[in-house]
Chains A and B, each alone.
Chain A
Amino acid sequence: MMTKRKKQRDLQQTLFIILITMVLFLGTLNIVKGLGFFIPSQPSLLVVNNTINLEEMTLEQKIAQMVIVHGGLYNLQTWKKLQLGGVHLFAMQREELFRKTINEFQKEMMIPFFVSADFEGCLNPFSAFRPSIPVREITSVGDAFEKGKSEGSYLHTLGFSVNFAPVVDLNDQIWKCRSFPGNATTIGKLAEAYTLGLQREGIIATAKHYPGKTLVIRDPHKEVVAAVIEKSDLLPYEKLNKVVKGVMVSHLIVEGAIDSEGKPSVAAREIVGELKEKYPGLIFTDEIQMLGLRNFYPSLDEVYINVFKAGNDMILNFGEDPEEMHRMIQVVAEAVRRGEISKKQIDASVRKILMAKGFRVK
């Protein structure tokens, strides 16, 4: 009897050792996977005399350059390994944290990341230590220029290169402080002055959210987010076309003065293509993990393919899963290989991005 009990206890003890080893092993594997260890590295890029040869970049490297992610330090190694195009920083408690994060990301990168923020005025990621005047309080061209210049200088000092501002939606019904005051013409003028000030300090300004009506209160009972665009909504963009270096496209389904043919603007060639004909700068998507866009398509793969296919130059994806980010690049690369997305279009976008980063491109 005693021997049988002892045998059972020994069996339980052996099983315990096996299981705890398995848990530790699988736990380590999951951590390592979460850190992006299983994501293959891209070859090093050759930059000679500040010139990059597009032919020497892999398709995956090109697609990665078109992606902006959230710059959390927990994903530092993976984002660097993937050689992504940019990192976006949310609010932080201290100025040194911004400097430290940006330095860590830019260290040893052959092609530096774009570093972006939403420094609009009343949306202010630096509010803990640097107050900012909301744009609704800016009424003169001179003040708008000074605001742009001072904020541009501050962003440049910290190491930022892109600001997702100015907001040129005509009517901010939600926050009531993100848009300049006045009618379409005044908003256009003030936004132009702000843009000139910002860009004088070396920061890429991004007019948003094309084609307008993004900050309007929605009917919560309607699943599809749609709006009727008037000519006046497009006026600020016409004013800014020759000045601003970036435009951000929204997820709204639009009709009226411009028609997205029932698709979200950001995924509609009708919207992005038409914008590209008039405007030579960088075209950014709004964040693509927003439910409105994700729910429109049956799968995330279709979201990825359609936002690239529409012709956007830079895709904002704040998803935090490194494996999923790698998968997105693979999904888009496959779509390019089978001809669903044009390789020429990808090359044109990457050329624009690299030139905006200060490189010559062959």
Chain B
Amino acid sequence: MKDINIVIEICGSAGEGTISAGEILSRFMSGQGFEIMSFDSYPAEIRGFGKCVAHTRISSNPIYSPGKFVDVLISLNDKHSISQLGSLKESGVLIYDSQPARPHKEDESAVGWTKPGMVSYGIPLNMLAHKAAGNARGMNMVALGVIAALFHMEKDQFTDSIKARYGKKKQIVIDSNVNSFIEGYGWTKENIKKNDSYSFKGVNLPEQKEKLIINGNQLVARAALDSNLSFYAGYPITPATKIMEILSRELPKHGGTLLQTEDEISAIGAVVGAGFGGKRAMTATSGPGFALMTEFTGLSVMAEVPAVIINSQRGGPSTGIPTKTEQSDFNSAVSGGTGDCPRIVLAPTDTKSCYDAVVLALYLAEKYQTLVVVLMDFFLSNSIKNIDVPQKPLPEYLNANIAPGKDELKDYKRYKITKNGISPRAVPGTKGGIFFSTGLEHDEYGRPDYGEAGHLKMTRKRFKKFNAVLSEAPAPEISISGKNEFDIGVISWGSSAGAAHEAVMSAQKEGINASSFSSMMVSPFPQKALIEFSDKCKKILIPELNFSGQFAGFTSHILKRPVEKLNFITGRPMASEDIIQKMREM
């Protein structure tokens, strides 16, 4: 049985339906039983004529990264597509408009820039759209018709997908889209002689379970609702805004409250307030907002009040690059702020684990009475995958507060020193549980205490909780286990972990003896497992999306050995192709 693994890009100008065409394609192919991952890019400006690219990888096997190189490029607008040709594979396919509304000058035509070996199909996209619906708006659907015909996709089922996408619109809208698709399909079948080897036919796909086609932000909101979130406060910021927008609609239906605040300081302040009240509360932001939240992160840790912050990283520092992906908030998430301030940081490694991370975050924050940061990024927030419907959290994850018993309430010490560092927590309204919390150092009752012994005792207590937290960390993911020696060990975190795993799996085929390691929990870090892994590896490679190698620095400190770094700040997600290249050189 053959493997299918094809990356398709549709490139056009904002407003040409580029992104919707990509969405319809992914949804249809998912329905056909393929694995899909898509990651679109579009300009930061809302209106204008910026370049839009709908990038979709379609495979008969699990997908861990979006794919750096493109097999099929569909140009709805040659001006933008020329620069996309750089990532088209040597034997890739270009589909372009052979009769554009305005004829191209010589060097403005995409086909003029193709390299020998590439296959080009000129299709009168604009003309066919006019023929089907009387205007150029259906060009994107014509293009879908073309690829359906060229690469052997099921025509009638594809038509149904388009109908489903526009199902709520007026009949004329549905008709013009469907007709444009059929026009493109028919014309291609009749006029084009296939000259490439790409096809989606001839593969047996496993029987399709119910799949969710979803991105990280949507999963965060879903996980929060499934985890009985009762309060959300937030301030709009790319790429986290969508989480607030979804919860704004959904949270009240679940009996919760959403507050849009005047700034991020107020958002985290309100979250800490709700947490003090014993309710599950959360906020989501990106680097600049996270910077503003820093003083409250300290209070959450010091006063031992549960709080969850989702930080979807973008290019930084400062306002940085709002619509590009980066992993450069590692240091600030793990150790930003004042004082000795231990906090839990979870970095989901793929779309699905965004759900798991949020369930775990809300549980750990409540149980360990502390701050939990979920470190996502622009790519995880926005890339779309088809995944199995996540299992809802088990009951013990939904109610984790350790409340004081009757005896403890007789002389209630809110910050009682215990074996594991967790002090039973009373919530306001509890008779006999009255206490006072402060950001000042305090004694077991919560009263300000600046003594030397007291500060040491309480600092130890706050750190001690980490030992127990670590026992709740999901097991690190290791690509190849069962061997005692590897030439290269790839250690990665967050959204780069998928590409690292994929790189290691491909490297095997080239005879490179390698494995990869990643942990969703990055603070506290499962150091023992990391050292065990590292001891088996002759060389260590750490790929990540920041300039200075923040995680590499953190890791080499634990491992006390030199590590090889691989860093990108291109704004694009980590590519397995780049990791393999580096492994070959090592």
Question: Are A and B subunits of one complex?
Answer: no
